[in-house]
Structure 1
Amino acid sequence: NFLFVFTVMMLASARAPCSCSLSPPRCPPLRARGRARSVTTHASSVPVRRAILLGSAGAALGAGLAVPGSPISSGPALAAAAPKVDVGDVAPTFALPKAGGGKLALADALKESKFVVLYFYNQDFSPGCSVEAQRFQQSLTKFESKGAKIVGISMDPIDKHEEFCDKGGLTFPVLSDADGSVSAQYGAELSIPLLGKFSDRQTFLIDSAGTVKGHWLERDGSMANVKTTEHADQVLAKIDQVA
């Protein structure tokens, strides 16, 4: 994840001169129309990354917070707040600008589809978010056959979204939540000292009545973790379960 790499590089630069570039790492060249395959995974690194991002890599290490699959363990410092929107809730309505022009309103998307898969992600071109988007694109016909519409949201500006969609061959709507208001409504806002605000990686499966039927979070210990390389399959399976 870009945020993890960026922060680690910042910490390293405080100890010794570094000749490396701090520009955001870009995903490897993708094949036309988003059909490239990838085996990238990041799920086990999530708690470690969050400990560092929240401005306390040293404090987390010193406190010995437990993290499955790592020498750090999870404790109260890494506990996430209760979600603002969860399964059974009515999804907050919104309308946001989309890549390619115009706006998309959730109410309109729900009228046109049996389900809307609303997924929030951190940032365009970060490795994990690029893989997640590609998996949705590769499975797009499967979602469409089940009457489901994919909608991506991050706080990136429209021009960056357009570049992301163009280079990745993404054909589903990608929306710009520039001020973070929609991310905040859904409890999917991530605020990081010195780096700013980002959309948290969360996905909501919403039925045509506007009710949340599935919710996945990038959260250690949750049975509904967003598993980047498997996430499209996770959502497809849930659609079959609730349809």
Structure 2
Amino acid sequence: MLSRRYFLRTIISLCFAVTTLFFAPPSFAIGGKLPALDQLAPEFTLPTNTGNGEIALTDLRGKWVVLYFYPKDFTAGCTLEARRFQQDLPKYIAQNAQIIGVSADSVDSHAEFCNSEGLKFPLLADTTGEVSKAYGSWLGNLSVRHSFIIDPKGILRATFVKVNPVIHSTEVLTRLTELQGNVS
């Protein structure tokens, strides 16, 4: 049985998302401009739920990075997407890849979400939306469900904008494998 808190968060998030999508002014762009492929990915440093303070993209040089943006902790689609990434985490680790989730939720919310779902990868708190904006993944006051693969040198190699949480981790793994096969 779903907890009342989870249910209320989900209802509020869905109401906000529907309102934002259908009643936004015409000049309101969904997501914004995506960063260019085969260029350095936008740098960032954000606080994390892991107790390590902050994580910077430069800290992850030497690893592949799967950077995924999602709207809200504890919502149905975001929970499913996170569970799929967690399920596939050993495959990512075997491919020298670090999964990083980003949303506008607080560090405390991320910690609670990771604890409730058993997530073993960091979630970053982009409470101002600055990093989400730099990646073209911001809508009003929520991150848009976009994902990016960044190579060990910090170069953006793949972008995913039409994300289905059910199959997304599998899609990312497939593309990561393809990219690693093309790197000399």
Q: Same fold (TM over 0.5)?
A: yes
Contact 1:51–1:78 at 8 Å: present in 2 too? no
Residues 156-184 of structure 1, C-alpha deviation per residue, up to 9 Å, x if partnerless? 01111110000000010111011111111
Whichever residue aligns with residue 87 of structure 1, its letter is: L
Q: 1:211 aligns with which of 150, 155, 162?
A: 155
- Quote the Cα distance in structure 2 between the aligned partners of 1:125 and 1:98: 17
- Quote the Cα distance in structure 2 between the aligned partners of 1:77 and 1:155: 22
Query: Counterpart in 2 of 1:187?
Result: 136
- Quote the Cα distance in structure 1 between the aligned partners of 2:27 and 2:166: 27
Q: SS at the partner of 2:167?
A: helix
Contact 1:97–1:104 at 8 Å: present in 2 too? yes
Query: Counterpart in 1 of 2:3?
Result: none
Q: Indicate how the Cα distance of structure 1 residues 78 and 190 shifts in structure 2: closer, same or farther if over 3 A, else same.
A: closer
Contact 1:116–1:151 at 8 Å: present in 2 too? yes
Query: Counterpart in 2 of 1:235?
Result: 172
- Quote the Cα distance in structure 2 between the aligned partners of 1:82 and 1:123: 19
Residues 103-138 of structure 1, C-alpha deviation per residue, up to 9 Å, x if partnerless? 111111123x1x100000000001000000000000
- Quote the Cα distance in structure 2 between the aligned partners of 1:78 and 1:235: 29
Residues 213-243 of structure 1, C-alpha deviation per residue, up to 9 Å, x if partnerless? 11001xxxxxxx2111100110110011111
Q: SS at the partner of 2:166?
A: helix
RMSD of aligned residue pairs (Cα, Å):
2.5
Shift of 1:210: 1.1
Q: SS at the partner of 1:84?
A: coil
Is 1:85 the counterpart of 2:35? The answer is yes
The count of corresponding residues between Structure 1 and Structure 2 is 169
Residues 55-85 of structure 1, C-alpha deviation per residue, up to 9 Å, x if partnerless? 439xxxxxxxxxxxxxxxxxx9998576331
Query: Counterpart in 2 of 1:156?
Result: 105
- Quote the Cα distance in structure 1 between the aligned partners of 2:146 and 2:93: 21
Query: Counterpart in 2 of 1:23?
Result: 8
Contact 2:31–2:137 at 8 Å: present in 1 too? no
Query: Counterpart in 1 of 2:84?
Result: 135
- Quote the Cα distance in structure 2 between the aligned partners of 1:201 and 1:89: 21
Q: SS at the partner of 1:25?
A: helix
TM-score with structure 2 setting the length: 0.83
Q: SS at the partner of 2:41?
A: coil
Q: Indicate how the Cα distance of structure 1 residues 240 and 54 shifts in structure 2: closer, same or farther if over 3 A, else same.
A: same
Contact 1:93–1:106 at 8 Å: present in 2 too? yes
State the 4+ residue runs in structure 1 displaced beyond 3 angstroms: 49-52, 76-82
Q: 1:120 aligns with which of 69, 72, 81?
A: 69
User: Where does the alignment leave 5 or more consecutive residues of structure 2 unmatched?
Assistant: 1-6
Query: Counterpart in 2 of 1:110?
Result: 61
Q: Which has the larger radius of gyration?
A: 1
TM-score with structure 1 setting the length: 0.64
Shift of 1:87: 2.2
